[in-house]
Amino acid sequence: MIHEHPDDGEYHGNIADDLATGDVRLQVSVVSPQAEVFAGRANWITAPGSDGSFGVWPRHASLVAALSSGLLRIGLPNRDHLEYLVRGAFLSVNGNTVTVLIDKAVSSPEEIDLEAVRAELAEVSESLTKRVDDVEYLQLLDHRDWCQAQIRYVERRPDWVPKHV
């Protein structure tokens, strides 16, 4: 929860809003093994942490975090934002520089074959019911999380029409 300034303080309103609309910007780089996904200035970032989403604003404390499969949002200076569905990611904050290293990024629901993902999820769920070693179990959980994140990403967009229709 982001606390507001006290009523009798020098500032009023939400602290995060003040940070995100000030003169200082984040320098953001999102990189996959294949290519640079995004590089530029941003007001803020929200990232899918293992215990839930978290935000990064200018002047954030230094941080290194492993990310879960989920939505990475980048707030641009023009008040617009970009979204990427990410998997296998790490985020680093050093000063006002944010670096996100990712295995995979999806920038549009059209990149996802929902029927194929649902079939993958069924296979993974079935495999989780069988005896497997600890390493394979963790890999299956990660794969399940990625499938579920893709389904949520597509289904939250009411304007999206599946490819096969």
Q: Domain limits of the chain?
A: 15-106, 109-155
* pLDDT confidence of residue 78: 84
* pLDDT confidence of residue 9: 44
> Is the separation of the CB atoms in 31 and 37 below 8 Å?
yes
Identify the CA nearest to 161 among candidates 108, 83, 122.
108
* pLDDT confidence of residue 15: 55
Q: CA torsion sign, 116 to 70 to 29 to 76?
A: positive
* pLDDT confidence of residue 79: 81
Find residue 66's DSSP bridge partners: 90
- Max intra-chain CA distance, the chain: 60
* pLDDT confidence of residue 163: 45
Per-residue pLDDT of the chain in tens (165 residues, 90 and over written 9):
344 444 444 444 455 555 555 678 999 999 999 899 999 999 999 999 988 899 999 999 999 999 999 999 999 988 889 999 999 899 999 999 999 999 999 999 999 999 999 999 999 999 999 988 999 999 999 999 999 999 999 998 655 444 443
* pLDDT confidence of residue 147: 96
> Is the separation of the CB atoms in 16 and 55 below 8 Å?
yes
* pLDDT confidence of residue 51: 85
Looking at domain 15-106, its CATH architecture is Sandwich (2.60)
Q: What are phi and psi of 27, to 5 degrees?
A: -105, 115
CA-based Rg of the chain, rounded to a whole angstrom?
18
pTM of the predicted structure, to 2 decimals: 0.78
Q: How far apart are CA 60 and CA 162, in angstroms?
A: 39
> What tokens were used for 124?
């993974």
* pLDDT confidence of residue 156: 83
AA identity, residue 155: E
CB count, 10 Å around CB of 87?
21
* pLDDT confidence of residue 158: 54
Q: How far apart are CA 54 and CA 84, in angstroms?
A: 15
Chain centre distance of CA 111: 17
